[in-house]
Structure 1
Amino acid sequence: MLSNHQYSVCVCAFFLFFFIEWHRTLALRLTNMNVPEVVDYRDTVTLSCSYDLGVHQLNSVKWYKGNQEFYRYAPMLTPQVTVYPVDGIAIATDRPTICNQYLCSIRLTALGRRSSGEYRCEISGDAPEFKLANGTRNMTVEALPVEEPTISGLSASYLPHEHILANCTSDRSSLPVRLLWFINGRTVPMEYLQQQQETTLESDSFQLRYRTLEMRVPIDRLVQRELDNAIHIKCIATVDLVPAASREAQAVITLRSHRSSLFGFGAGGHNSAAGASVPVATATGRSSLLLVLLSAQCIMMWAGSTVYSLPDSGGLHSL
């Protein structure tokens, strides 16, 4: 059974919790704000904030870039929407904005360097209190890779003693791009890679860069455990700050044997020029002897010399 002191503590805790919840339902507050952190300048981006008015009436929703207001929604005024000119801000007009008693969502287009900055959503309640709630988020506009990286320098097929020599070049990006090579799903070791080459240029007020990474891989070191002749090559261009901007390119090359290259035989043959012997069947028995003598007879007929007939049970005799 609770003592008087414990009972008093429980009652106080209950009323404190009730008061906090009751006050929360009455207060005007911002419940969510969505502004992307990094966007591509070619995109159209959506900024949105949602709110709980509590017991208040909505007076206005205002959007700011820095300290400059560029969009206002005031449901009790005519017109309800007012757009103010701000450098770097262009409201998309292909679809209507969505602003009401619960949320306000706008879309920005024609982005550039000046579109980067701090964005603030501010909600105002009606008279007589004019309560305010606001939130801020930062957005950075960059030029992100759009195209897949380009793989160049590959041949269609290779011999086991050859090297795979190829280059991977990323699409242009204002953010650093990291290139990775993979062969048959395994990362190519650093010892087979050359230092990444970077080229920089100016475009649309962005300093763009693209990178090229060369690999030189001895096939017999990397694919000696593979069971088939297909070698799968992949290059990934990744932007560490924006994982969604990563792009990849793939290619498949063929591993062929020396014999298939020189003689048109199957992949299981051996290359005598490389020091491996080509096996010859041992001639045993009467059928093998007949084959040898027949070959000798044909050669001597061609040369105009004395020709021996095939042996009978008595051995060889001159024609």
Structure 2
Amino acid sequence: MAVDPNSRLPNEDPKIEGVQASYSVGSYVTANCTSSPSYPPARMDWFINGVKAQQWFLDYYYSDKPISDLNLESRTIGLKFQADSSHFHQNEGYLSLVCLATVADLTRTSENKAYLTRLTKEKFAQQFTNYHGRIKAEFLLLVVLVVVIHL
């Protein structure tokens, strides 16, 4: 591929923001990745554990004005998906998120790893208590509705 003589390649790797240190199964993973300024603007991609992210996991954010008189532009791509057990590598319990920013023949990358939250006895007890309390509240609401309907 011929490089446009007016091209200005990004001088830094893309910046990933918003990734937490750990996630539990069922929680939402959200992150943004921003390229450093370039011309033309970088093509942005996310990979989850080495597999290109599904299109519906992505949000594209475009700037409507160049950063400088050189027409340099930065691009941001958002990622959002619900974590399930298949997203965490079996042996090590982590999720790999890689962002690529490509301009011409140059690809710059950044990677973040997030780990699977382990369910401790205390967290399990708290979740069970919350679940049990919700059942009590739903049952009480049902009883009230039945009484009101029969009046």
Does TM, normalized by the shorter one, top 0.5?
yes
Q: Which structure has more helix as a fraction of its residues?
A: 2
Alignment of 1:146-157 (within 5 A): 146-157=11-22
Q: What do the CA deviations read for 1:136-182 (whole angstroms, capped 9, x no partner)?
A: xxx71321111000000011111111111000001101113111111
Alignment of 1:132-147 (within 5 A): 140-147=5-12
Structure 2 unaligned segments of length 5 or more: list them. 132-151
Higher relative contact order (CA 8 A, sep 6+): 2
Per the TM alignment, residue 257 of structure 1 is displaced from its structure 2 partner at its CA by: 3.0
CA distance in 2, matches of 1:261, 1:247: 42
Alignment of 1:1-319 (within 5 A): 37-38=2-3, 140-194=5-59, 196-199=60-63, 200-203=65-68, 205-220=69-84, 222-223=86-87, 226-228=89-91, 229-239=93-103, 242-243=104-105, 245-259=106-120, 262=123, 272=128
**RMSD between aligned alpha carbons?**
2.7
* Larger gyration radius, structure 1 or structure 2: 1
CA distance in 1, matches of 2:48, 2:122: 23
**Structure 1 residue ranges, 4+ long, deviating more than 4 angstroms after superposition:** none
Question: Between the two proteins, what is the percent identity of the paired residues?
Answer: 29
TM-score by length of 1: 0.36
TM-score by length of 2: 0.73
CA separation of 1:202 and 1:227: change in aligned 2, threshold 3 A = closer
Per the TM alignment, residue 272 of structure 1 is displaced from its structure 2 partner at its CA by: 3.7
CA separation of 1:217 and 1:260: change in aligned 2, threshold 3 A = farther
Per the TM alignment, residue 193 of structure 1 is displaced from its structure 2 partner at its CA by: 1.1
CA distance in 2, matches of 1:260, 1:164: 24
CA distance in 2, matches of 1:174, 1:260: 53
